[in-house]
A and B are shown apart, each in its own frame.
Chain A
Amino acid sequence: MMRKALAIAAAFGFAVTAFSAVADTTAMEPKDVHWSFEGPFGRFDQEQLQRGYKVYHDVCSACHSMSLMSYRNLGQPGGPFYDPKYKNPNDNPYVKTIVKDYQVPDIDTDTGDAIKRPATPADTFVKPFPNEYAARASNGGALPPDLSLIVKARENGKRYIYSLLTGYATAPAGLKVPAGKYYNPYFPSDLGSAWTGAGKVPTGGFIAMPLQLTANRVTYDDGTTATPEHEAADVVAFLTWAAEPHADERKDLGIAVLIYLLIFTGVLYASYRAIWRNIEH
């Protein structure tokens, strides 16, 4: 018996396991929040998208780029500032007003000099930093991620981002928070090495972004009270739309396609029954 066990052990023994030890990454389960745009019948709330854009514009855009977004997108069908009067988003007055605030780098074609020119609706969102190094230098070495696809690029994206933004907590005693970092129980990480307290290692991790969304951090144009929860829900709505601007169109078409297919399937089934009527099988 013993010899047999040794033989099996030896058989496995010559093989070196390639499995690396898994870090015990933990994060708190995201909060259970809901939005108007969830599910097949859910659609974006345009006013919420406008408020969400305002949060991005006033707060996030100081550090986070959205390289896949152009100003014109804000005025396209389904967008925060879409107005059926202006089919071409480049003519949308809101979009035109928004771009007035921006200057984009360009080349003067007469002199070849590097210049700044006023932005147009066709330009992509102006980046807060000229390059990654500048972004890291201004943020204690951390790189603020681009937000164009952030909702799709994170597990349970909407709820995760909402929870992260509203979930900053005081670090428990015994947790050594590094300088320039902040404790957030929703930020997935392994805090084992920073934990000197008794009991279980706290969930979450250290994030380089300090708490941003505080009460009245933005002033909403529509008079909505700017609580941190409201701000977070609004900006998540905007980011979800930005990650897939055609989501509403997709669902609209999907409902039509499914209705069509259901009828078509019924017709095919009836044809099948009719054609096989006289065949015993």
Chain B
Amino acid sequence: MSGPSTYEPKTGIERWLDTRLPIIRFGADLLDFPTPKNLNYWWTFGGILAFCLVVQIVTGVILAMHYVANADMAFNSVEHITRDVNYGWLIRGIHANGASMFFMAVYIHMFRGLYYGSYKAPREVLWILGVIIYLLMMATAFMGYVLPWGQMSFWGATVITNIIGSLPLVGPAITTWLWGGFAVDNPTLNRFFSLHYLLPFVIAGVVGLHIWALHVPGNNNPTGVNVRSKQDTVPFHPYYTVKDGFAASVFLLLFASFVFFNPDGLGHPANYTPANPLVTPNPIVPEWYFLPFYAILRAVPNKLLGVLSMFGAIGLLFILPWIDTAKVRSMRYRPMIRVFFFVFILGCLLLGFCGANEPDAHPLPGGAVGAFLDADLNSFVWLSRLGFLLYFQFFFALFFVGLIETPLPQPESISSPVLPQGAAASPEKKG
């Protein structure tokens, strides 16, 4: 569907260049790329994410000019940036909140892909590359959070690296290797800084592959129906540059309100105390975008099984295209799986809520109601186990529901739901 190139070199120099390095053709084809005309606003997050990556790299490179990766100086160098560097407070505010915005956008992007079946054939590789980007983002964000070397930086790093230590036989050796010593210390900070600078460029590379893999089959769309004719598509530019631009601008309003009016709202107060290996903050909580996985880790009573569940929660996404047995892509026409999908989202939110709280604390007023097995029933331990079920049920549902459900009638083509003659076939009208 990407089709033959429509670019025609008009000047002599363009013709000359086109036979040597067809870079103008490459750009022109990207701009002209036929895109389904029915993409809704959930599709604007791809562009928003590309924007986020650029923002993080640009602000990050500037921060690296002033940051000192040394356990004795890192904390003060970050404060120096916010106090003494011209507009350093702004650059740091954008970078720190940008990470949260990046994750917010990526979660919406992923949920969109799940709902509309964007991971299904022929887009499996596109989806898997996306999961790889997500994993790289998590690694980058985790190491970035360690760099200010506050209490939460240090103890977060300690907890997460210790997770690796729970692997049988090789765990402790790998942990020592990761730390560059026998505890999280200066060598750990230095290598985290090095990798935190490296990984965004790896992400940029995989994003390139992700976009390449997108341009082979072309975009999925809210109906999940394949593009049939030219009538179904519009050129990417100007139609989607302006729509994505508008959405990105709305996104920026939210971004700016955090940066300028609540720059520490998504952070944790403990990270404004310099790292101290002798004092453990209580509780140790990761950044909000890791909370669901943290809750999965703590929901399982066995440490190793907890770690495996946590990695499994993401690992399952890699094989998602082969777990799902349904032929129909979009959940718009799959009323049954849609219920399981919303339960799954509820599970993600519930796990996030649990991850932010102490396991033994009571989610419901009234205190302890009596222990069941290893924990009180009115505790975040059991609530996160409920979340655990709501999360993992979805992957079973994708397999079994696909075998039994009867999908709703789908439109003939992308154009038919909005054209008068096809109006009867369309159960809803989406813009």
Q: Which residues of A contact B (CB under 8 A)?
A: 8-9, 12, 14-19, 21-23, 25, 40, 68, 73, 148-149, 152-155, 157, 243-246, 249-251, 253-255, 257-258, 261-262, 264-265, 268-269, 271-272, 275-276, 279-281
Contact = CB atoms under 8 A, between A and B. Distances in A.
B358 interface: yes
A261 B253 contact: yes
A265 B253 contact: yes
Identify which of A73, A250, A251, A258 gathers the most chain B CB atoms within 10 Å of its CB: A250
B374 A17 contact: yes
Nearest to A153: B272
Nearest to A18: B303
Nearest to A145: B273
Contacts of B270: 153
Given A246-B82, A253-B90, A279-B37, 19 more contacts: A12-B373, A15-B301, A18-B303, A19-B359, A22-B358, A68-B79, A152-B264, A153-B272, A155-B269, A157-B269, A246-B83, A253-B260, A261-B249, A272-B243, A275-B239, A276-B239, A280-B37, A280-B415, A280-B418
Contact of B93 (A153, A250, A271): A250
Given A25-B282, A250-B89, A275-B238, A15 B272 contact: no
B216 to A, nearest CB: 24
A18 B305 CA distance: 12
Contacts of A245: 83
Contacts of B261: 40, 251, 254
Contact of A258 (B253, B298, B300): B253
A19 B89 contact: no
Interface of B: 37-38, 76, 79, 82-83, 89-90, 93, 234, 238-239, 242-243, 245-246, 249-250, 252-253, 256-257, 259-261, 263-264, 269-270, 272-273, 282, 298, 300-303, 305, 358-361, 373-375, 381, 415, 418-419, 431
A272 B257 CA distance: 24
A19 B269 contact: no
Contacts of A280: 37, 415, 418-419
A254 B82 contact: no
A276 B245 CA distance: 14
Contacts of B263: 250
B257 A258 contact: yes
Contacts of A281: 37-38, 418, 431
A23 B300 CA distance: 22
B242 A257 contact: no
A19 B298 contact: yes
Contacts of A279: 37, 234, 239
Contacts of B373: 8-9, 12
A15 B259 CA distance: 44
Contacts of B359: 19
B205 to A, nearest CB: 30
Q: Which of B260, B263, B298, B431 has the most CB of A within 10 A?
A: B260
Contacts of B83: 68, 73, 245-246
Nearest to A245: B83
B246 A272 contact: yes
Contact of A265 (B38, B234, B250, B374): B250
A246 B83 CA distance: 7
B406 to A, nearest CB: 28
A25 B281 CA distance: 13
A265 B254 CA distance: 12
A98 to B, nearest CB: 18
B375 A17 contact: yes
Given A152-B264, A275-B242, A244 B89 contact: yes
B301 A16 contact: yes
Contacts of B93: 250
A112 B375 CA distance: 65
A265 B249 contact: yes
Contact of B260 (A148, A154, A254): A254
A268 B251 CA distance: 13
Contact of B374 (A12, A40, A73, A257): A12
B117 to A, nearest CB: 20
A243 B79 CA distance: 9
A275 B240 CA distance: 10
Given A152-B264, A258-B257, A279-B234, A22 B360 contact: yes
A199 to B, nearest CB: 16
A17 B415 CA distance: 57
Given A18-B303, A280-B418, A281-B431, A271 B242 contact: yes
A254 B373 CA distance: 52
A277 to B, nearest CB: 11
A253 B238 CA distance: 32
A143 to B, nearest CB: 10
A276 B253 contact: no
A265 B245 CA distance: 9
Contacts of A153: 269-270, 272-273
A279 B239 CA distance: 9
A276 B264 CA distance: 39
Given A21-B360, A22-B358, A281-B37, A262 B381 contact: no
B260 A268 contact: no
20 contacts: A14-B302, A16-B302, A17-B301, A17-B375, A19-B298, A22-B282, A25-B282, A40-B261, A149-B272, A153-B269, A155-B269, A246-B82, A249-B89, A255-B260, A261-B249, A261-B256, A268-B242, A268-B246, A272-B245, A281-B418
Interface centre among A9, A21, A246 (most CB of B within 10 A): A246
Nearest to B150: A153
B269 A268 contact: no
B260 A258 contact: yes
A277 B38 CA distance: 14
Would you list the 8 A-B pairs with minimal beta carbon distance, nearest first?
A254-B260, A15-B302, A153-B272, A15-B301, A268-B246, A152-B272, A265-B249, A149-B272
A258 B256 contact: yes
A272 B301 CA distance: 53
